Amino acid sequence: MAEHYSSFERKGTRWLLQRLTAAFLVGVLAFHFMLLHFVNHAAEVTFAGTQMRMQQLGYLLTMILFGLTATFHGVNGVYNALVNQGLEGTQKTVIKYALIVASIVLSAQIVRLALVMAGII
């Protein structure tokens, strides 16, 4: 029988965070679909309506947290998939720091966009 291999240490922090962020993302996606596809039909969603929703503190914070969580979940998953495929040594270090920089840039853009949409900046 094939041996199970994963770069996640079972019950480790990254393992736990990957599962917690997945659960959060599923919940927020369900909220998104309910709000923007059932309560308001997609054809009724407008830019002005989005700006109005983003001006509500709870919605704004939820969307920022959603974006930051999705960024972490995606980057963590990509990094661990590459490690599982045999990435090691200098390449592993370069990829790790490139993903960290990309995550920081993407996170800054997520927060900036949300604040602009809310009319804060």
Residue 48 lies in a domain: yes
CA distance 22 to 49: 28
Kindly state the average pLDDT of the residues 31-41.
85
CB proximity list for 49: less than 8 A, separation 6 or greater:
40
* Domain-embedded: residue 3: no
Domain, as residue range, for 108:
13-117
Grade residue 2 by pLDDT with cuts at 50, 70 and 90. low
pLDDT bracket for residue 44 (50, 70, 90): confident
**pTM (2 d.p.):** 0.85
Supply angle C-alpha 55, 102, 85, rounded to 5.
130
Does residue 1 have a pLDDT over 70? no
Residue at 111 is within a domain: yes
Q: How many domains are there within the chain?
A: 1
Q: Report the chain's mean pLDDT, rounded to a whole number.
A: 90
7 domain-assigned: no
DSSP string, 39-85: IS-GGG--HHHHHHHHTSHHHHHHHHHHHHHHHHHHHHHHHHHHHHT
Q: 55-100, pLDDT tens digit by residue?
A: 999 999 999 999 999 999 999 999 989 988 999 999 999 999 999 9
2 assigned to some structural domain: no
